[in-house]
């Protein structure tokens, strides 16, 4: 996982940090966004379409500074629906170039 400069779809540039994070190796690539619900912060990822969903989730948690929190405490949603099988590829989860994933805590947390 490293930051690289890649031409990215317009939608991935909206409200996201500059740069792009590369996930997975593969010829068929797509650019997706991951938004952390708690912070309203977004990152852009250049990822292989055959990368498993959990690879994107773990990379997003690491770059959002949540690596110390168990990944099971978070859900990854695409078009409002939780992705239940995180072993499947992004393509199998119906992600497309320019898709936006929502990363949220599985359970509500108390406001402090």
Q: Does this model's pTM top 0.95?
A: no
What is d(CA 2, CA 78) in angstroms, rounded to the nearest whole number? Answer: 23
* DSSP state string for 67-110: TTS-GGGEEEEETTEE---TTSBTTTTT--TT-EEEEEESS---
- Residue 67 has a pLDDT of 83
Question: Length of the chain, please?
Answer: 112
User: For tokens 């990152």, what's the residue?
Assistant: 43
Confidence class for position 28, pLDDT limits 50, 70, 90: confident
Asked if the model's pLDDT at residue 34 lies above 70, the reply is yes
Residues 64-109 pLDDT 10s: 888 888 888 899 999 989 999 999 999 999 999 888 999 988 877 6
Which domains, from first to last, does the chain contain? 3-105 (3.10.20.90)
């Amino acid at each position: 996982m490293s930051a690289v400069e890649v031409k990215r779809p317009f939608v991935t540039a909206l409200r996201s940090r500059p740069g792009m994070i590369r996930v997975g190796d593969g010829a068929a690539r797509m650019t997706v966004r991951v938004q952390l619900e708690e912070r309203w912060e977004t990152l852009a990822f250049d990822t292989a379409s055959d990368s498993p969903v959990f690879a994107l989730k773990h990379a997003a948690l690491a770059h959002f500074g949540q690596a110390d929190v168990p990944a099971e405490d978070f859900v990854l949603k695409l078009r409002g629906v939780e992705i239940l099988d995180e072993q499947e590829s992004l393509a199998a989860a119906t992600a497309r170039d320019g898709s936006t994933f929502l990363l949220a805590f599985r359970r509500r947390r108390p406001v402090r």
